[in-house]
């Protein structure tokens, strides 16, 4: 398996409190709230992509519209959705060009109960992960999150941005 940092136990109860009691994490991040800082890999007038704060896989990234939307089915017309998915695709390719990636997982998570702001998760599965540790198990924070320091996250973000500019 590709060299991944060690995993640490994820405090889901604390996370759930933050999600339920705090502001929208994407809107807070975009407003510059230091408690919601992330490493940006892509930004344009409509969309932002940034490395996840609690990555389960190295390079785990979130892509979100800047406008607070909660449903891609109900809140986006098809042309806007297709533009957004174009960004998701470009960012995924840049992540895969940066890190060894056997499969890129892509999904939209969240709900009105928590993390309501529409966002797409991109999770690069490294080569060599045993099958029983792939798919949902690989992306569930309940199975631990990587201990990645800020400098390492900054370096990954810089490399991903480099592939997006190239």
The verdict on residue 141 lying in a domain is: yes
The verdict on residue 40 lying in a domain is: yes
> Containing H/E element for 89?
helix 78-98
The verdict on residue 116 lying in a domain is: yes
Q: Into how many domains does the chain fold?
A: 1
pTM for this model (two decimals): 0.94
The verdict on residue 1 lying in a domain is: no
Give me the domain span that covers residue 54.
7-165
Nearest one of 46, 35, 15 to 110, comparing CA atoms:
15
> Containing H/E element for 48?
strand 47-51
The verdict on residue 131 lying in a domain is: yes
Looking at residue 2, its pLDDT comes to 54
- Residue 77 CA to residue 154 CA, distance in Å, equals 34
The verdict on residue 137 lying in a domain is: yes
CATH of the domain at 62: 3.30.428.10
Distances (CA, A) of 19 to 41, 46, 76, 155: 23, 24, 24, 27
Looking at residue 54, its pLDDT comes to 93
> Containing H/E element for 95?
helix 78-98
The verdict on residue 23 lying in a domain is: yes
Helix (H, G, I), strand (E, B) or coil at 149: coil
The verdict on residue 159 lying in a domain is: yes
Tens digits of residue pLDDT in 78-101: 999 999 999 999 999 999 999 999
Which DSSP letter does residue 129 get?
-
Tens digits of residue pLDDT in 21-57: 889 999 999 999 999 999 999 999 999 999 999 999 9
Structure tokens at 122: 């991109």
């Amino acid at each position: 398996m590709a060299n991944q940092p060690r995993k640490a136990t994820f405090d889901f109860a604390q996370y759930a409190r933050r999600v339920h009691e705090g502001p929208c994490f994407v809107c807070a991040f975009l407003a510059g709230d230091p408690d919601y800082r992330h490493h940006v890999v892509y930004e344009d007038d409509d969309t932002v992509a940034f490395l996840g704060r609690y990555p389960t896989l190295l390079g785990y990234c979130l892509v979100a519209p800047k406008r607070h939307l909660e449903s891609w089915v109900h809140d986006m017309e098809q042309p806007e959705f297709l533009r957004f998915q174009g960004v998701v695709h470009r960012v995924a390719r840049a992540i895969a060009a940066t890190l060894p990636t056997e499969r890129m997982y892509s999904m939209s998570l969240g709900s009105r109960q928590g993390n309501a702001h529409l966002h797409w998760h991109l999770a690069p599965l490294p080569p060599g992960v045993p099958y029983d540790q792939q798919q949902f198990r690989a992306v569930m924070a309940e199975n631990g999150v990587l201990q990645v320091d800020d400098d390492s996250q900054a370096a990954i973000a810089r490399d991903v941005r480099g592939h997006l500019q190239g």
